[in-house]
Structure 1
Amino acid sequence: MVKTLHPQNYQDVYYVGDYYRQGNAVLMDLTDVPGSEATQLVDFAAGLVVARGGEMQRVAPRVFLLSHPEQPERR
């Protein structure tokens, strides 16, 4: 399952981590997050996927897909 999230600020990072740790792929849309907070969210997400052996891909400007290793990329 892919969970789409639209964080409003860095405080919403909890939901990104929680859904990802539950085994969901996460589509993280940062278009509404101010620049410095968006950078913090991307940094957190990068650490999360590296720690879990997953991948993070930019699918559009300010939109990222966090996937697990067992989920093949679909186009």
Structure 2
Amino acid sequence: MVKTVRPRNYSEVFYVGHYFCQGFPVVMDLTGLTNEEALHLVDFAAGLVVARDGGMERVAPKVFLLQPKRMARSGAVAVG
């Protein structure tokens, strides 16, 4: 199951981390945020996937797929 999260502000990044750390792939849809807000969430997500040895890829403008280690596809770019 893939979890989709559409944060409205930085404080909602908690859900991205929660689902990802539980082993779910997470689609992080940042289209509702300003570029500056979105950048902060991408920075968080990049740190998360590096720390957990996962992968992250952009699937559309301001939409990212975060994949736990066991789910990382060969086409996904590992951050770090």
What TM-score results when the alignment is normalised by the length of structure 1?
0.92
Cα pair distance change 1:54/1:10, threshold 3 Å: same
Give the equivalent residue in structure 1 for 2:43: 43
| 4+ long deviations beyond 6 Å | none
Structure-1 separation of matches of 2:63 and 2:27: 7
Structure 1's unaligned 5+ residue stretches are none
Cα-to-partner distance string for 1:35-59 (whole Å, 9 max, x where unaligned): 1110000000000000000000000
Overall identity of the aligned pairs, in %: 57
* Structure showing the higher strand proportion among its residues: 1
- How many residue pairs match? The answer is 75
Deviation at 1:73, TM superposition (A): 3.0
Unaligned runs of 5+ in 2: 76-80
Instruction: Write the distance in 1 (CA, Å) between the matches of 2:36 and 2:55.
Output: 22
Is 2:21 the counterpart of 1:21?
yes
Q: CA RMSD in A?
A: 1.6
